[in-house]
Amino acid sequence: MTTLPLDISYTTLFEGLGLLSLATFLISLLLIPYLISRASVDYFLIHATIVEQRHRRHPAIAFVIKIIRNSLGCILCLAGFIMLFLPGQGVITMLIGFSLLDVPGRQKVLDALIHRPSLQQALNWIRQKTGRPPFHFPEK
């Protein structure tokens, strides 16, 4: 049987997990709609082209941007995964995080996710609530 260090009790652990759950929920309620409303209408149509153009910039700037985007993408993917089990918008958060990552096969996964009608409806519902026009999605 594993025991926790003397200064950490189960009560403290559960309080910490409860606070983490509350924080991810509140952050997702504020950050995710903001990010979705700020994206251009044709984001899912032109995103791959934007990434290619970014890679052609000055190598040092491209490297710094790549590190920042991948770090933020990893954080959002992890937060989205956690939100699958805790309150929050897990799938949408993972979608945003994964769209920031520069990994092989990313576009195929994004295409598979973005073609789900329920996800399209959720994204456009958020845009409607923020007074923005709906996204244009690629055809299958």
State the pLDDT confidence band at 3, using cuts at 50, 70 and 90.
low
CB burial readout 25-45, b (16+ within 10 A) else e: eeebeeebbebbeebeeebbe
pTM (two decimals): 0.59
pLDDT tens digits, one per residue of 87-105: 767 887 888 888 888 888 8
- Mean pLDDT for the chain overall: 81
pLDDT computed for residue 125 by the predictor: 93
pLDDT computed for residue 8 by the predictor: 62
Length of the chain: 140
Name the residue with tokens 């791959």. 48
Name the residue with tokens 């989205």. 80
